[in-house]
Amino acid sequence: MNWELVDFVKKIQGDKRFLSLDEAATKQGIVLKVLSFLGWDPFEIDEIYPEYTVGSRRVDFSLRHNNNNRVFIEVERVGKELEPHQETLLNFAAEEEVKIAILSNGLNWWFYLPSMKGNFQERRFHEADLARQSAEDLVQKFSDFLSKELVVSGLAFKNAETVYNLRQRDSLINESIPRAWNRLISEPEEWLVDLLAEATKKVCGHRPDNDLVAKFIANEIDVKSELSGVVKPRASQVAKPRKTSPVIEDYTGRSILSFSFKGTSYDARSWKDMLLKVCEIVYKSHRGSFEAVLTLAGRNRHYFTRNLAELLTPEKIAGTDIYVETNLSAMGVVALSNKILSLFGYNESDLTIEAK
């Protein structure tokens, strides 16, 4: 963590003088100061070129390396609206093939990928508010997207691209969920029969006949459809149930001893300890895209969030600003761990558990 920058952000949050800075003071007192903490030299024009101009176009700062523009930064005075200045900045950045552009009034920083598809809002992959957000969270993102080391290496752009792609994916998912739901209730899938049968067994100790479960689903959909006006599926549309279900090891009531991931063994004092270690292992290998775990949620609960109030028993994942729900059963921990691994392209077989 860049603690000098953390202290500077906290200074901004506690000093009302920053609220009345004009444009020149905003550039000198906030923007250049932030850049200096991120490894850039304000006195070296080969790193920070002020008033960078090509033809009739100009931008306040160009962050450069090896005589190439890497980041454009346009600065307005504190408190000034940023939206009217998006088009000019992004068009200039796209023409110059600059991969990251930033629009700031000192307190608000909007990060863009000029070459990506979409409108201004869609190309804005991150927003930072120095007056209201946690200093530690702000500095982590500034380091990911704007530190000299990562900009020069190209990792800053890769981190930004990952966030952009995740947002595009989430948008597509949100659009597709209603269509998928309508298809599901009109054409029940085979797995739904197995899922309900297994859940019933956990409740009463007996697994119902799959034909009985299929009839229940058809009748339940009929009732819900009459109440909601949804088109009802015909009984013949209910999928024929499979005769067998995959065997899943049951850890209910058992204590974990250790677990292995891709051949490396880890001690675990509890199921909660295993979940946190799995999160930390995955984070170390996928720092730039780890926030994808925020998409993992149950029907009525969050599993990962930045808002503590959304979880019953939150635990912060080391090295991140993300919290994970730890109020889970043994089987809940195993299921969530497998979801995390699947999200990042691993197989369930990569995780093995020793329990008693």
The domain made up of 3-163 has a fold known as: tt1808, chain A (3.90.1570)
Give 100: exposed, middle or buried? Use CB within 10 Å, 0-12, 13-18, 19+: buried
pLDDT of residue 257: 93
Name which CATH class applies to 256-355. mainly alpha
pLDDT of residue 70: 95
Q: Cβ–Cβ contacts within 10 Å for residue 230, how many?
A: 14
Span(s) in the chain for CATH 3.90.1570.30: 3-163
pLDDT of residue 271: 94
pLDDT of residue 219: 67
pTM value?
0.52
CA dist., res. 350 & res. 132, Å (int): 41
Enumerate residues 6+ apart whose C-beta is below 8 A from 203.
Answer: none
Q: Are 144 and 288 contacting, i.e. CB atoms less than 8 angstroms apart?
A: yes
pLDDT of residue 165: 85
pLDDT of residue 307: 87
pLDDT of residue 118: 77
Please give the structure tokens belonging to residue 258: 């250790």
Give the pLDDT of the chain (356 residues) as one tens digit per residue.
Answer: 789 999 999 999 999 899 989 999 999 999 999 999 999 999 999 999 999 999 889 999 999 999 999 999 999 999 889 988 999 999 999 999 999 999 999 999 999 999 888 788 888 999 999 988 889 989 999 999 999 999 999 999 999 988 888 878 877 777 777 766 666 555 555 667 777 888 888 888 888 877 777 677 766 655 554 444 444 444 444 444 444 444 568 888 889 999 999 999 999 999 999 999 999 999 999 998 999 999 888 766 789 999 888 888 899 999 999 999 998 888 889 999 999 999 999 988 899 999 98
